[in-house]
Amino acid sequence: MASNTITSSSHATRIYDVFVSFRGETRNNFTGFLFEALRRKGIHAFKDDKDINKGESIAPELLQAIEGSRLFIVVFSKCYASSTWCLRELAHICNCIRTSPRRVLPIFYEVNPSEVRKQGGYYQEAFAQHKEKFREDKKKMEEVKTWREALAQVANLSGCDIQNKPQYAEIEEIVQEITNVLGPKYLCLPKDNLVGMESRLQQLAGVLCLGLTNVVRVVGICGMSGIGKTTLGRALYERISHQYDFRCYIEDVSKTYRDSSALGVQKQLLSHLPSEKNLEVYNVADGTCLLWTRLRRARALIIFDNVEQVGQLKIFTGSRDTLLRECLGEGSRIIIISRDQQILRTHGVDDVYQVRALNDEDALNLFCNNAFKTNYVIRDYDLLTREVLSHAQGHPLAIEVLASSLFGRNVLQWRSALARLRETTSKNIMDVLRISFDGLEDSEKEMFLDIACFYSLSLVQVLEEFSEFRGYYPKYGLQVLIDKSLITVTCDGDILMHKLLRNLGKFIVREKSPNEPWKWTRIWDYEDLCKLMSDDKTMENLEIVGIEYSRTDNQRIMRIESLSKMSRLKMFILRGIYLPKFPGVLGRLENLTNELGYLIWPAYPFESLPTRFEPDKIVQLYLPFSNIKQLWEGTKVV
């Protein structure tokens, strides 16, 4: 039974992927084209350049290259055997495959394979010349015998006969064969980025159902910004792409679409087809026809990264189902990477893989790799490391950015950096996280900020009630936030938001006037409330005050009449703050805005609510353990 498990390469670490033994006569034609094709595929091949001096013995750098290669290619041409240099390379290759089994791929270029195997024709003439040249040197004659044995051994292996065949097509097949032999390898991902990757790859393999080779499957990869979606997609591509007839990774679909519409995305796909590099396509219909013709029944792996709108996936005329049924071959896989699950659902993916934060062990490994360049925490940095990881909460980008900024710094510098981190998160992290926020509509932005700033609004029921009071559409808006991986909701109705996203929300509220809280729309910190209520400032922007059990040892003056200036206030929560304890409290509560819907103030210090307060919009009034004797004077309509 086919397996969904992705296996990693078991090859030992070597200097080169491929060593090519060839005669100089093919350097500027077939072998030159082969090297270029290998380079395009990211295959590291040793090239015997002209500047290597050739003498009686093989140069040390050549011996090292042969011994340090994973696979060997021998290009047998008409004059190959006339070169003692080539024959010595060949003999050394045979020694290597005897001591550590490796694959040798013989290629017969403009020479009959039987002529090489039987050592007739040009090869017979070449060995006759070697025999004549070394006939009086017994040691050299033994070497000639070794050459003959090596030639017979390699020429009798299964190889490629490219006589009278198009070179480009044969080279494509040869490169594919080499890729299959070498197996998967990470071509461009730094090792540090791969912490925790194996478990994610195995989980993704299960979602992709790689073991089912008779179906075409479309799968989405989703998750919050910076969580590692692209790294996972690239790692998967580099691990399994060699198994497919056609493979293409489009790195930034959104940018390509903005720059050149659907046609630009089509052209990227076409550029991965053999011999279609300079193809001119002028409209999507023609591009669709060409792709369907070229991909007909091909087993394909296509990854679309950073898809921001459903329309960016409409790169084919005709229906998606027709494309899958009539164009791509069995076993094909299409992967769409997006921050928005709704895009994936609308497109009709078969399943979605949600990228989660790193577990504690992987988070620690990633941090150590970047902060200490080791796999362990350096002495005296244990507690500091724990605090950084608590802040990052398994977010790979945050861990890498913070760890890199701390690398090489002493303990005092770490403490200073962490003190600053408690106040504000790195701009590099915020810029990445903010992409999802900027894509929200205004009402969803407001709901996001409410959740980020106030734990009181982290229950679905409470948030929905408050959002409806404010005129939003919470059932729809909550789902949007879930789809964009900005929140998750538990089965108990708790709204969970990553600590970094909470910091982002607070950063957005403060960013235009970081030291002027009277200009903010929300206040969640007691110190800021003290500052706000000790200055004679207008507060026409403020909509929510939500202080939850803050420290109460601050002796700053608080002008309680400042509450009367909060003309747009919708919610006021003051839990854990007992104003009578503060000798600095000045004035009495003269008024509250009639816009107020929620007043939650345990131990309310006054005997009644303000006379002028008209509570016609009040939704929740909660004043336990207060000094109140009557709500207000006279009769109010509520």
Query: Pairing between strand 217-222 and 160-161?
Result: unpaired
Overall residue count recorded for the chain in this entry: 638
User: Which H or E run contains 363?
Assistant: helix 360-371
Q: Check: CB of residue 131 under 8 Å from CB of residue 144.
A: yes
CA distance linking residue 204 with residue 333, whole number of Å:
12
CA atoms within 13 A on the CB side of 414: 20
CA distance linking residue 638 with residue 631, whole number of Å:
12
Catalytic residues: 89
* Phi-psi category of residue 334: left, alpha or beta, with phi > 0 → left and psi -120 to 50 → alpha: beta
Q: Check: CB of residue 312 under 8 Å from CB of residue 337.
A: no
Nearest to 13 by CA among 92, 72, 90, 67: 67
Q: Check: CB of residue 204 under 8 Å from CB of residue 232.
A: yes
Nearest to 403 by CA among 379, 429, 423, 440: 429
Nearest to 315 by CA among 273, 271, 269: 269
CA atoms within 13 A on the CB side of 440: 25
Q: What is the per-residue DSSP string for 241-292? A: GGGSSEEEEES-HHHHHHHHHHHHHHHHHHHTSTT-TT----SHHHHHHHHH
Classified as helix, coil or strand, 621 is strand
Query: Pairing between strand 544-548 and 571-575?
Result: parallel
CA distance linking residue 47 with residue 35, whole number of Å:
8
Q: What is the per-residue DSSP string for 170-235? A: HHHHHHHHHHHHH----SS--GGGGTTHHHHHHHHHHHHTTT-TTS-EEEEEE-STTSSHHHHHHH
CA distance linking residue 330 with residue 436, whole number of Å:
35
CA distance linking residue 565 with residue 561, whole number of Å:
8
Which residue type occupies 602?
A: P
Structure tokens at 177: 């064969």
Query: Residue 49: exposed, middle, or buried by beta-carbon count in 10 A (0-12, 13-18, 19+)?
Result: exposed
CA atoms within 13 A on the CB side of 530: 17
Nearest to 396 by CA among 422, 432, 448, 421: 432
Helices (H), 520-610: 526-534
Which residue type occupies 212?
A: L
Which residue type occupies 67?
A: E
DSSP state of 299: -
Dihedral sign from CA coordinates of 291, 296, 298, 300: positive
Q: In what order do the strands lie in the sheet with 69-76?
A: 45-46, 16-21, 69-76, 103-108, 160-161
Q: What is the per-residue DSSP string for 41-99? A: TT--EE---TTS---SS--HHHHHHHHTEEEEEEEE-TTGGG-HHHHHHHHHHHHHHHH
CA distance linking residue 450 with residue 470, whole number of Å:
11
